[in-house]
Amino acid sequence: MIDRLFLDTNVVLDLLGEREPFYASAAKIATLADKGNINLIVSALSYSSIFYLLSKFEDSEAVKKKLRKFKVIVKTSDLTDRIIDKGLLSKFTDFEDALQYHCAIKLDCNILITRNEKDFKGSDIPVMTPDEYLKSLANK
């Protein structure tokens, strides 16, 4: 079975913003998706956050171009009324993390990739950093 990875916003920011020292791992995961070895899923919520944050440092048209290229290799989990309700009722301390988590569950992701593992305590799916995920592949 091919892995279905949900990427938290911070990992996508690492990739598209080429943020060191995290860029290399995020880029390796993106390359795996581009080659069809894994499926990547992101929340619709992530796009606006990423655009807002990256456009503080880059031209907005350049950021849109990056997002268009990125969108080719990922599937987007819609932010629905039901997911918002689940987020509001969840035990997550951070509402945005709750929304991300429920987007991942909705699209049957089997791993949630983030650099903030502590934010997803109580997750019903494994939570890994990009480095941990890449190491797990080497052990298969």
Return the HEC string of 54-116. HCCCCCHHHHHHHHHHHHCCEEEECCCHHHHHHHHHCCCCCHHHHHHHHHHHHCCCCEEECCC
- Delineate the domains of the chain, giving CATH numbers in brackets: 4-138 (3.40.50.1010)
Checking if the pLDDT of 94 tops 80, the result is: yes
Beta-strand pair 39-43/127-128: unpaired
Q: For residue 1, what pLDDT is reported?
A: 78
Q: For residue 122, what pLDDT is reported?
A: 81
Q: What's the mean pLDDT when you consider all of the chain?
A: 94
Checking if the pLDDT of 79 tops 80, the result is: yes
pLDDT tens, residue by residue, 16-65: 999 999 999 999 999 999 999 999 999 999 999 999 999 999 999 999 99
CB distance 16 to 53 below 8 Å: no
Q: Rounded to an integer, what distance in angstroms lies between the CA atom of residue 7 and that of residue 104?
A: 9
Checking if the pLDDT of 117 tops 90, the result is: no
Number of other residues whose CB lies within 10 A of the CB of residue 107: 16
Q: Give the model's confidence band at 139: pLDDT under 50 very low, under 70 low, under 90 confident, else very high.
A: confident
Q: For residue 140, what pLDDT is reported?
A: 67
Q: What is the pTM of this model?
A: 0.93
